[in-house]
Structure 1
């Protein structure tokens, strides 16, 4: 084989390697997909922190991303509700306003858990190709329930507003529920992003 042929083969091989490497460089990883999607939320850092562990199941699927975000919200809402219930049972506040705020918060968090559960079930009903009025119907239900859950979370947080309720209970409960409100806000943004992307 002549030197010219060897040189030509070497150039072809280098070109193939370069093309393959370039193709790989342009592909986005699941983590990149989550990070870029989270930029559309109000709390992008929290969004990425709470969803990055689900990267293997999310891949680059907007529906799976929304589903994971709702699951995170539901888990944290349940945890907050359990914490509030435990406080009421084992160490209830002595001040009436604190006690009432805590009871009201338990009720609203229960509603939040119920609505987030419904939204996850509704989103899971979207199977196969995304299209038509069925998509609009299911997504409208999901958006309505997640929005209502966020209102529930915010209502609980607002129930502890003002210095009159400062103290142990507020310091313990308010940050927990505020976190639930923030991840639910992020979940709603990702649900809306999914709905807008695939709306007929």
Structure 2
């Protein structure tokens, strides 16, 4: 009885160590796929840093990678929009150019969040590649992500022309990061086009 218990324990330990070796061997391959794919983006270091945690779910799927990049972009846009709303709860555009810039920024960020949310949802309905349905959904995603990227640039323009240095410093860095991850997401979405 003791011997069979020891044998079962030894077998379990062997299986666990084999699983650990497999995970260790697979993880670098998955991260290599992300690093290689991120070379096609405008901000490759940020791309790798923001997507590396998605490696297990992405595996080697360009579509899953694009979906993960959109999810990152949506999360950052939501966080930035909430930050602006918290820092400047009720900007009155009639009172100053700066308040108008903050309101414009909030409005465009809200639009961007909506477009990125639609894009993430649309990725789930694309169907099989090489189909009209896939091309149609991909076109929608490309349009919405491009519009979200334009929204971040509109926000930045408004801030740079109408906001004081304190507001620019508080908001600009976050909006720039949203713009960068959104640009990366668009590049990874565009890479799906040749695959259909």
Give 1:92 shift.
Answer: 8.7
1:83 equivalent in alignment to 2:83: yes
Return 5+ residue gaps in structure 2 as ranges: 1-24
Counterpart of 2:112? 112
Query: Partner of 1:140: helix, strand, or coil?
Result: helix
User: Could you report, residue by residue, the CA deviation over 1:125-147 in whole angstroms, capped at 9, with x for unpaired residues?
Assistant: 123x3122111101000000000
Q: State how far apart, in whole Å, the 1-side matches of 2:170 and 2:92 are.
A: 12
Query: Partner of 1:131: helix, strand, or coil?
Result: coil
Q: State how far apart, in whole Å, the 2-side matches of 1:148 and 1:39 are.
A: 23
Structure 1 vs Structure 2 CA RMSD = 2.2
Give 1:195 shift.
Answer: 2.0
User: Could you report, residue by residue, the CA deviation over 1:9-68 in whole angstroms, capped at 9, with x for unpaired residues?
Assistant: xxxxxxxxxxxxxxxx9xx71100000000000000000000001111111110100000
If the length of structure 2 is used for normalisation, what is the TM-score? 0.81
Counterpart of 2:164? 166
Query: Partner of 1:161: helix, strand, or coil?
Result: helix
Counterpart of 2:72? 72
Query: Partner of 1:89: helix, strand, or coil?
Result: coil
Counterpart of 2:191? 193
Return 5+ residue gaps in structure 1 as ranges: 1-24
Count of equivalent residues = 171
Counterpart of 1:134? 133
Q: State how far apart, in whole Å, the 2-side matches of 1:100 and 1:155 are.
A: 13
If the length of structure 1 is used for normalisation, what is the TM-score? 0.80
1:33 equivalent in alignment to 2:36: no
